[in-house]
Each structure stands twice: as C-alpha cells, then as structure tokens.
Amino acid sequence: MHLEKRILVTGGAGFLGSHLCARLIAEGAQVLCVDNFFTGARRNVEPLLDHKHFELIRHDVTFPLFVEVDEIYNLACPASPVHYQHDPVQTIKTSVHGAINMLGLAKRVNAKILQASTSEVYGDPSVHPQTEDYWGNVNPIGLRSCYDEGKRCAESLFFAYRHQRNLGIKVARIFNTYGPRMHPNDGRVVSNFIVQALLGRDITIYGEGSQTRSFCYVDDLVDGLIRLMGTSHDVTGPVNIGNPDEFSILELASTVITLTGSSSKIVNRPLPQDDPRQRRPDISKAKEELSWTPRTKLKEGLIQTIAYFEQLLSDQGLRATLNADSA
Ligand code: NAD
Ligand code: UDP
Ligand code: UDP
C-alpha cells in the first residue's frame, strides 16, 4: 500500500533532474530517479540517497522500463551542445526511443507524463520573442539537429499519444536554465564563464558576443515544471518556461567578471555552426495557465551559482582535472 504520490524522474541525476527530485521529496512524494549517468552523477542526488522515499536506478531510457508510478517527468537527455553532439545517434535514440518507452509506460499505468522539451525547437528563430505557436527555424541536418529534431519528434510523439490514447501529457519548452550542480565541464555558457573566471582563465566568447539568451534560475524552472504537472487534463502545453530578461553573451561575461572579481580577460573564438542569434521566451501562456512567473534576477542567481562552483573548485582534485582539460 502506498499513500504518497509515486513519481518517476528520468534524467533525475542530472542538473535539472536532481533539483526536481529534491523538491518532490520535500513535498512528500515517493521519487524514483532513473539515469544512465551519461552526464548526470550519483553525487548530484547524494543527499537524497538515504531518504526512505527516494530510489535511484541506473537505466537507459532507450530500453523499456516497467515500474508502477502516478506521474513521469521525462528529463533524460544530454542538454549541452558539447554533450549532445558527442554521440548524435544516441542523442536521437534517447529523445525518440526514450519518449516512446516512457509514453508506453504512461499509457500502461495511466500516469500523467511531462516532457522536458526545449527552446531549441525554435532553432535560430525568426520570430522574437518566441511564442508557442511559432514553428521554428531548424536546420534538419546541422550539428544541432540530433538534439533539436530529436526533441521536436518527441513533442510530436507526445501529441500523437494524446490524440490516439488520450494520455495526460504536458510539454514544457525550457529556455536556458542555470544554477548550482551544472556540470563544470559541459561547455554551457554560464558554467564555462564562471569556471573560467574563478580559475583566472580567459573568458571564451564565441563570435562577437552579440547573440542573446534569456537565463532562468533553476529553482524558478522547477517551480514551473511542478505547476505544469499539476494542471488539469485539458492543459497539455506546449508552454514556454524561462526568464524573459534577455542578455547578450558579452553582457553575461562582464557580469560574471564583476561578480567574481576576476582578472580574466575576454577572448573571442569562432561562432559554432547554427548558433541561434537571439532567444527570449514569451511567457504569457505560462503566466495565464500556470500562474507562474520567474522571480530570480540574473545577478542573484549568478551569485548562488558562483558560490556553488567556488565550493566545487575548492576540491583540489577537481581543480587539477579542470586545469589539465584546458592544457
Ligand atoms: P543534464 O545533462 O544535466 O541532465 C540530463 C540527464 O539525463 C543526465 O543525468 C544524464 O545522465 C541523463 N541521461 C542522458 N541520456 C540518458 C538515457 N538514455 N537514459 C537515462 N538517462 C539519460 O541536463 P539538464 O540541463 O539537467 O537537462 C535536463 C532536461 O531538460 C533535458 O531533457 C534537456 O534537454 C532539458 N532542457 C534543459 C535546458 C537547460 O538549460 N538546462 C534547456 C532546455 C531543455
Ligand atoms: N513500454 C515500457 N514500459 C511499459 C509499457 C511499455 O517501456 O510499462 C515500452 C514498450 O516496450 C514499447 C513502448 O513502450 O516499446 C511503447 O509502448 P506502446 O504500448 O505504446 O506500444 P506497442 O507496445 O503497442 O508498440
Ligand atoms: N557560448 C560562448 N562561450 C562559451 C560557451 C557558449 O560564447 O564558452 C555562447 C554560445 O555560442 C551560445 C551561447 O553562449 O551563443 C549559449 O550557449 P550554451 O551552450 O550555453 O546554450 P545554447 O546555445 O544551447 O543556448
């Protein structure tokens, strides 16, 4: 007999997943965290391991999974360009086979299921800010396509299961999110700049730094996902979840340098292929349907994130590894 809600979080040992698991446990749920540890790590969920309502399973979602749960958050998928481009075929399998398996599971046990989709479905957008009814501008064969098209196909699968099987689906389009427990080596801009600043290394701006992103703090994001899961059957999304405060990458670099008091210099590196020039969510739908709005200003969130990386880098072994990687 169980009284608590049983919740499956795939990719639960990753950056967002670990915060989500901690929040769900704090709210009294039983959490089953499934992860193949490709980019996630046991240490991200270390504080939860002894909790009687928490269970961690090593499993790859491209293979079927048979468990009994009430809700599924499908987060399994590498999210940083460096990681998802490392093995593009596996990235597509994770998005597509992973979605099919989790939808099959949701259908069998009649669970609600939420997909962690992404602003990348809009590609290099020609509409600004991005609204959910914009279909996007994605290169289907470019370097980013394994991720972008994989996520687009997953959305399509979610809606196909909805139309054919009336599944309780929720699709969240997540915009650039940052915070403690980002992987120090995953190449994303916030973690890169903070680690570079703290180590006194050059801050690497790709291109001129005029491209923009809108950064959402992880606690706000998790709150948005939980609210979306809590909506009624008729609310499916897709719904943008992100912070509409937009910054150029150059502005981000300057802010990180100021907040860390670093003496690092800014250097320019080539812009990667198909790098989106601008990105900002229109969050009217999230405000209306979820009564959600992000609360954390970029500076506040960066201060928390910098504190996390300072602590992490005080581990001498890790500092040596990062220095060796950059050598
Ligand atoms: P992350 O890389 O830290 O987490 C992904 C997790 O999924 C990792 O723990 C990884 O080991 C696991 N994983 C990967 N492939 C798997 C597989 N085949 N089977 C089981 N587990 C697997 O990234 P994140 O930032 O926490 O992203 C989580 C989700 O949110 C992803 O689906 C990502 O696409 C989405 N998202 C994130 C952002 C962001 O800014 N962080 C933006 C848009 C969308
Ligand atoms: N599946 C799973 N766990 C379950 C139920 C299904 O992993 O509890 C997988 C199943 O192996 C299949 C996929 O989900 O590959 C899709 O299931 P569905 O029932 O929709 O498809 P079908 O089996 O009818 O092709
Ligand atoms: N970027 C950068 N320097 C870095 C890492 C990233 O200038 O060291 C840029 C990157 O080219 C992109 C933006 O920062 O324009 C955000 O990159 P990230 O990989 O974090 O996310 P995404 O491109 O998927 O939004």
Q: What is the pTM of this model?
A: 0.96
Distance CA 287, CA 35 (A): 31
Q: Whose CA is nearest to atom 4 of ligand 3?
A: 189
Pairing of strands 212-214, 246-248: antiparallel
Does the Cβ of 78 fall within 6 Å of ligand 1? Answer: yes
For every residue of 230-244, DSSP letters joined together read TS-TT----EEES--
Mean pLDDT of 45-69: 98
Active site residues: 147
Minimum CA distance residue for ligand 3 atom 13: 189
Check pLDDT > 60 for residue 326: no
Q: Is the CB of 185 under 6 A from ligand 3?
A: no
Nearest ligand to residue 123 Cα: 3
Computed on alpha carbons and rounded to an integer, the radius of gyration of the chain in Å comes to 19
User: Which top CATH class is 6-182+217-242+276-295?
Assistant: alpha beta
Question: In whole angstroms, what is the distance from residue 100 CA to residue 327 CA?
Answer: 42
Largest alpha-carbon pair distance within the chain? Answer: 59
Buried b (16+ CB within 10 A) or exposed e, 185-219: bbebbbbbbbbbbbbebebbbeeebebbbbbbbbb
Nearest to 72 by CA among 159, 13, 152, 5: 5
- pLDDT tens readout for residues 82-116: 999 999 999 999 999 999 999 999 999 999 999 99
Which pLDDT tens digit goes with each residue over 261-310? 999 999 999 999 999 999 999 999 999 999 999 999 999 999 999 999 99
**Residue 143 burial (C-beta neighbours within 10 Å; 0-12, 13-18, 19+):** middle
